[in-house]
Amino acid sequence: MTSTREIITLQFGNYANYVGAHWWNIQESGFSYDPNGEPSEIDHDVLYREGVDYKGQVTYTPRLLLVDLKGALQHLPELGTLYESEPSTSAAASTSDRLESVQSSIPWDSEGVEVIKKEPQVKPEFQKDLDDPHVDITEKDYDFSTNAKTWSDFLYARYHPRTINIVKNYQHSDSVNSFDTFSNGSRIWQNEYYEDDFGDKIRQYMEECNNCQGFQTIFDCANGFGGLSLKCLEYLNDEYSKVNLAVPVFNPRSVLFENSDEPLANSICVVNTALVYSHLVEQSSLIVPLSTADRAWRQIGAPRHFPLLNYKSDNLYQTSAILASFLDTISLRYRLKNPVSSCYLSNFCSDLNNYGRKLTAAALGLPFSMRSDEDLIDCLDKLEGSMFTQISPNSKIGTDYIVQSACIRGIPKNRLKRPSKQAQRQMKMAAYKCESVSEMLQLYFQCSNHASLAHVSAVEAPHPVKIPYPMEMFDPRLNFEGFLEDINRIEDQKLISVPVVATVQCSGDLSDTLESLHREASRIKLSKIHRFKETGLESDEYVEVLEHLLNFKDNYDDNFDL
């Protein structure tokens, strides 16, 4: 049966939406509109849906629901711009025109209407240029890393009107977060809107699916959105009992909460995180926490080092792009066309979560470091250390007893090894008999990790790099296809793609991760933080949560053999 294997994506929280915006951008910059070109190896229907707007135009939008605070959208209307009844031209002129037409259509005395207008948000240059078919966006430098005020500024993808949901009770702000506690977030779910309307939107997506694989949820872990997303996961389990992939993300910039100084804000973050982790054990099939910082419980740690990347550690735009690249690569396993039996989200999760080890660690090689004159076989032969950088907070993965699922993309077939005539030295290597990229990488993992299991998917198409992706992060020595050269790339040649490798790993070492979280969390006296109690979290419950974390840790301590 070759019906599509749909997945519904949910994003909760501002930083999650940054990551999401990049992810959808990456996917759309990989779309090929060339009818004669080779069909893509990726089945975009897994995450996207086809629709029709009010004028009968066909649309192709992410099967996505996102939640953010009021004011976080800036210039983006809640319903998106895709399904507008009349086409909008330049922003300022059209709004006043539209207002007038709306006003005249009200069947009421026209003096009876009082217009309360907020200052119209100026669309950033990039969004204006997207509306204008005459401007080529690839020719310009928008400098998003300093200019982007929120994720909608660099959003290339267009969302379905169903997609955006706003938490009206809280105002978004860059400096102070008022949506503070886990329990606050849980309470938001209880109001009418989420129980009915939000649930109904999920149902509508679900109704369209022929063969839904499950859900993937990306959410901010350390603030109120954690509670909201956990409630939502609970709802999904009750209602649909499908596979749930949970991706908690950690904002690399420490944000203060309302009426709190730094130590208090940090404590709140720790409590929130502990609550999220312990609830996720029940409510998700697999947990893949992501952060570009090495530690995230109490204070944001030092940024992770990528050998060929240069990014600002607290820049939301750049760091979220790194996480999005990871998601885009790792998700290839369940997004491939012509699926073999193991290419489902459920297989992805069940491969890794044996013995209830649902918490995993993510690692990424961005770009996969390979010289332009090398073959994969040589590259792996010479490789010292790891090809990955860890991107899960407080996690260190050893080299032995690990289970992992890796994806590699962007290594063309002809770069695997030399044909036998020119092979010379390569002939002697054990890997020379491997016929495909995935096979060779599999062998590599087998040899370098003792007593480990690995699943490898390989895709030939590289990771596209196009505006609005932060291409300024990459080392200038990469050539246009992302392979390493000795000299810098010439100025006017643009980077168009990079090879990437990503993996999700699970090993006994993750018990340290949980241990450290438990240690931090148990040090906090919950009764000193009034806002938790005010929003309905009792100390007893917290004690239970801590115990739950310890029990969860035990899953990693027992030395099961694989």
Partner 1 sequence: MASISLLNPKAEFARAAQALAINISAGKGLQDVMKTNLGPKGTMKMLVSGAGDIKITKDGNVLLHEMQIQHPTASMIARASTAQDDMTGDGTTSTVLLIGELLKQADIFLTEGLHPRILTEGVDKARVKSLEILDGMKIPIEIDEKSLSDIARTSLRTKVHTGLADLLTNVCVNAVLAIRQEGKQVDLHMIEIMEMQHKTATDTSLIRGIVMDHGSRHPDMPKRLENAYILTCNVSMEYEKSEVNSGFFYKTAEEREKLVLAEREFIDLRVKKVIELKRKLCDGTDKSFVVINQKGIDPTSLDMLAKEGIMALRRAKRRNMERLALACGGIAMNSFDDLNESHLGYAGLVYEHVLGETKYTFVEQCKNPQSVTILMKGPNKHTLAQIKDAIRDGLRAINNAIEDKAIVPGAGAFEIRAYNKLMQFKDEVKGKVRLGIQAFAEALLVIPKTLAVNSGYDVQDTIVKLTEEDRLNPDPIGLDLSTGEPMKPVDMGVYDNYIVKKQILNSCSVIASNLLLVDEIMRAGMTSLKG
Residue 336 phi/psi, 5° resolution? -70, 150
Least distance from partner 1 to the Cβ atom of residue 117, Å: 4
Site string for partner 1, 102-141 (x = CB under 8 A): xx-xxxx--xxxxxxxxxxx--------------------
Structure tokens, 53: 């707007």
518 CB-contact burial (10 Å; exposed 0-12 / middle 13-18 / buried 19+):
buried
Closer CB to partner 1, 102 or 427, in the complex: 102
Strand partners, 336: 42
Q: Which residues contact 384 (CB under 8 A, 6 or more apart)?
A: none
Structure tokens, 481: 């296809």
Closer CB to partner 1, 243 or 416, in the complex: 243
CA separation for the pair 305, 378 (Å, rounded):
24
453 binds partner 1 (CB under 8 A): no
Closer CB to partner 1, 189 or 469, in the complex: 189
N residues, the chain: 562
Structure tokens, 165: 């949901």
Site string for partner 1, 13-52 (x = CB under 8 A): --------------------------------------xx
Site for partner 1 in 246-285 (CB under 8 A): 259-261, 263-264, 266-268, 285
66 binds partner 1 (CB under 8 A): no
Least distance from partner 1 to the Cβ atom of residue 379, Å: 30
DSSP H helical ranges for 148-198: 182-190, 192
**CB atoms < 10 A from the CB of 67, how many?**
27
562 binds partner 1 (CB under 8 A): no
Interface with partner 1: number of residues (CB under 8 A): 72
Interface residue with partner 1, options 221, 243, 321, 443 (CB under 8 A): 243
DSSP secondary structure, 5-31, as one string: --EEEEEESHHHHHHHHHHHHHHHHT-
**Among the listed residues 531, 29, 100, the one whose alpha carbon sits nearest the alpha carbon of residue 321:** 29
Closer CB to partner 1, 211 or 399, in the complex: 211
Closer CB to partner 1, 112 or 385, in the complex: 112
Least distance from partner 1 to the Cβ atom of residue 363, Å: 22
Least distance from partner 1 to the Cβ atom of residue 374, Å: 35
Interface residue with partner 1, options 28, 41, 45, 53 (CB under 8 A): 53
Site for partner 1 in 408-447 (CB under 8 A): none
Rg (CA), the chain: 24
Q: E strands of 18-73, at which residues?
A: 48-52, 58-62, 64-70
Interface residue with partner 1, options 44, 75, 371, 489 (CB under 8 A): 75
302 binds partner 1 (CB under 8 A): no
Cα distances (Å, whole numbers) of residue 367 to 63, 239, 325, 362, 463 = 28, 40, 10, 15, 9
Least distance from partner 1 to the Cβ atom of residue 391, Å: 26
**Among the listed residues 158, 148, 138, the one whose alpha carbon sits nearest the alpha carbon of residue 317:** 148
Site string for partner 1, 138-177 (x = CB under 8 A): ------------------------------x--x------
522 binds partner 1 (CB under 8 A): no
Report which DSSP code applies to 488.
P
Closer CB to partner 1, 351 or 375, in the complex: 351
Report which DSSP code applies to 422.
T
Site for partner 1 in 329-368 (CB under 8 A): 341, 344, 346-347, 349-351, 354
Least distance from partner 1 to the Cβ atom of residue 383, Å: 29
87 binds partner 1 (CB under 8 A): no
**Which one-letter amino acid corresponds to residue 74?**
Q
558 binds partner 1 (CB under 8 A): no
Residue 355 phi/psi, 5° resolution? 55, 30
Interface residue with partner 1, options 135, 176, 209, 461 (CB under 8 A): 209
